[in-house]
Structure 1
Amino acid sequence: KILDLSNNSLSSLTPGAFQKLRYLQVLNLTRNMIHYIENKTFSFLPHLKELDLSSNSIIRLPETFGNGTGNITLLSVKHNKLQKMERVLLESLPNLKVVLFKDNPWQCNCNIFGLKLWLESFLYRGGISDGIFCSAPGIRKGKDLLKIPYELFGACTLRTGHFHLHHHSSEQRSSLKHTHHSEHGENSHSNCEPKPKPRPVSLRHAIATVVITGVVCGIVCLMMLAAAVYGCAYAAITAKYHREHLALVRQHGTPEEKEPFDSSLA
C-alpha cells in the first residue's frame, strides 16, 4: 500500500512501471533526479491516493498520469523546474483535494492561463493549495498568479481541455498566430507574453460625436426660440396695427364714403 523510493538517484521512470501494484495507495518519489514524467507512468493504480514528486528536477509533466489514476487526492510537484502545467492533467484527477506547487520557476504567460483558471475553480470547490508565484516575466516576478488580472491575458488563446478563448479583432488574431507558433519554438516565451489591451479608439470618437451633437442641437434650439419670439412679436405688432386702423375707419369712414359728401358741398 505504501512505496517509498525517496532519496535515491532515479533519473527516469518507465511507463507502466508500477502497474502491477494494484493496491498501492501512497507513492513517494521525493529527492531524486527525475527530469520527465511520461504518459501512463502510473497506469492502472486504481487505489493510488497520494503521489509525491517533490524535490526532483522535473521540467515537464504529461497530459495524463495513466489510466485508473482518478482517485489521487494529493499531488505534490513542489521544488522542481516546472514552468507550466497542463490543465488537462489536473482535470483528469477529479478527486484532488490537495495540490502543492511551491518553488517552481513558473512562467506567467499565455501557457499558464489554463492553470490559473483551473486553480481558481479548485479553490472555489474547497481544494487546498500553496499557490503559484511567478518567476517570469520580470514585471510579474514574485506575484501570485491568482492576483494577476484577466485583462493581462487578453491576447492569449487557450486550448486546454474544453476551454477556448477567442478574440475577433484583426490585431488580436495576429497576436494569437504568434502565440500558436511560439508553442513549438525553443526560445518562444517572449512571443507568448500577454499584450496589454489597447484602449478602443472608438471611445474617443464617441465622446467627440456626443459633444458636437450637443452643441449643434443647442444652436438649433436657440435659433428656433429666436424665430418663435420674432414671430410672436411680429404677430402682436401686426394685430395692433390692424386694430388701430379698423378703429379709425369706423370713426371717420373710408375715403370713398366721404368723397360724395364733400362734392355735394362744393
Structure 2
Amino acid sequence: MVNVGVRNTSFRIMIYALLVLLSVLFVVPLYWLITNSLQVVGAASTFLPTSVHFENYNYAVTLIDYWGYAKNSIIITAISVIIPTLTSAFVGFGFARLRGPGKNVLFLLMLSTMMLPTIVTQIPTYVIFYKIGFINTFWPWFFWALGGSAFSIFLYRQFFSTFPKDLEEAARIDGCSTYRIFWNIFLPISLPVIATVSILAFNGTWGNDYIAPFMFLQNEKYPLATALFSIGYVFPGQKDITLTQIQSAGLVIFVMPIIAVFFIGQRYLVEGVISSAVKG
C-alpha cells in the first residue's frame, strides 16, 4: 500500500512538473512581447525590463488607424462566429438525428474536407469572387460562413448523438416539428458545444485569419491581424525603420481579446470537447 501511494505521488509530481514546464513555454512569448512593448523606442529586445513607457500603447493606436482596423476585425469575426455556429448546428443535427439514404457517406465526405489544405482552394475561390465582384468586400466571409465548418459539424453531430431517443419521441408526441425539436429542445441544452464552436471560430478568425484578408481586401478594409503585419509601424519619413516596441504594444492590445475569450469560456470549451468526444 505504501509503495502504491509513493508511486501515485511521484506520478502526480511528474504530471504537475510537466504542466508547469508547458505553461512556462506558452507564457514566455507573451511575457517577452509585453516586456518589449514597454521599452523605449529603438532599444534592443530584452527579457528583463529596463524601463517602462506606457506611451507606446498610445502611439500604437494613433500612428495607424488601429480602431478602424479593429472595427473590420469585429465585422469579419462576427460573421465568422455567429453564422457558422448556427449553420453547423443545423447540419450536425441532421447528421445526428435525421434518417436518409447516403447520410453516412455524405458525413465521411464532409469530414474528408478537413484534410484538404486551405491554400489549395484559395486561388479558385479568389477567381470566383473576383468575377462576381466581391473583392474588397466582406461578402466572401458571409458565404464561407453559410457553409459552416467541418470540425464544428462533427462536434455538433457527436454531441446531438448522445441525446436519448425518448426525448425526441416525447416531443413528437406533443406535436413538435423537427425544426421545433432542434430549436426549442436540442439547441438550448447545447451550451457547451455552442461555446466551444464559438471560441474556436473566434480564435481562428481574430488571431489567425491573415492570408484571406490580404488576398480579398485592400488596405482600408484590412482586419488587425493583416494590418499589423503587412502595414506595420515605421518611423515617419523612413519606411525602412520599424518601430518594434510600438508594434509590440499594438500586438499586446490585439491578443487581449483572445486571452479574455479563452479564460471566460475555458470551462465550456473543455466540457464541450469532452461531451462531443464521448458517444453514449
Q: Which has the higher helix share?
A: 2
TM above 0.5:
no
Greater relative CO, 1 or 2 (CA 8 Å, sep 6+): 2
Q: TM-score range by the shorter chain?
A: under 0.3
Larger radius of gyration: 1
Q: Which has the higher strand share?
A: 1
Under a length normalisation based on structure 2, what TM-score does the superposition of the two structures give?
0.19
